[in-house]
Amino acid sequence: MKGPSQTEIEESLTCQCGCGLTVHSCNHLQCPSAIPLKGEIAEHLAAGQTRAEILTGFSSTYGEKILSAPTMTGFNVVAWVMPFLAVFVATVAVVAFVVRWRTRAVPASATPPVEDDVPTAERRARLQAELDRFDG
């Protein structure tokens, strides 16, 4: 199985210099945080550690705030689930509202589909009249 890349791990960690970027993206080339961290990552990769092992190691050494995204465990799961759950619930709510509207109103089957692109002679004449009116 292919191991994690240096870039992948660098992108998973936040630089501690205050730049707000990941270790990989830190814009301070002589950064006192990013450079030692990159060295540490290289050592872990050379030792054959997996992505999870490396990130767990950094998390226990520097605290969870070093991870650039929340873990998929415990309360952090809420961070990942909530946006999609919100969109899903909102979609269900919209569908429910629309279905309620439709059952309250005229049955949908009674409404003819819109054939707004059929170029009948009648439609052409109407379009011509409309264009004349706007042009005028």
Question: Interface with other proteins includes 114 (CB under 8 A)?
Answer: yes
Taking CB under 8 A as the binding criterion, the range among 40-48, 50-58, 112-120 that sits at the site for other proteins is 112-120
Question: Interface with other proteins includes 60 (CB under 8 A)?
Answer: no
Instruction: Count residues binding other proteins (CB under 8 A).
Output: 55
- The residue whose two tokens read 């109103």 is 105
Q: Judged by CB, which is closer to other proteins: 26, or 41? A: 26
Cβ–Cβ under 8 Å, residues 41 and 54: yes
Per DSSP, what are the bridge partners of residue 13? 67
| Nearest Cα to Cα of residue 23 among 43, 38, 6 | 38
Q: Judged by CB, which is closer to other proteins: 48, or 134? A: 134
Question: Interface with other proteins includes 52 (CB under 8 A)?
Answer: no
Listed in sequence order, the residues at least 6 apart from 71 whose beta carbon sits closer than 8 Å to its beta carbon are: 59, 64
CA distance 52 to 54: 6
Taking CB under 8 A as the binding criterion, the range among 39-47, 48-56, 120-128 that sits at the site for other proteins is 120-128
User: What are the backbone angles phi and psi of residue 13, rounded to the nearest 5°?
Assistant: -120, 145
CA distance 132 to 50: 71
> What residues make contact with other proteins under the rule CB under 8 A?
11-12, 14, 18-22, 25-27, 29-30, 63-70, 74-76, 79-80, 82-84, 86-87, 90-91, 94-95, 98, 101-102, 104-105, 108, 111-118, 124, 127-128, 131, 134-135
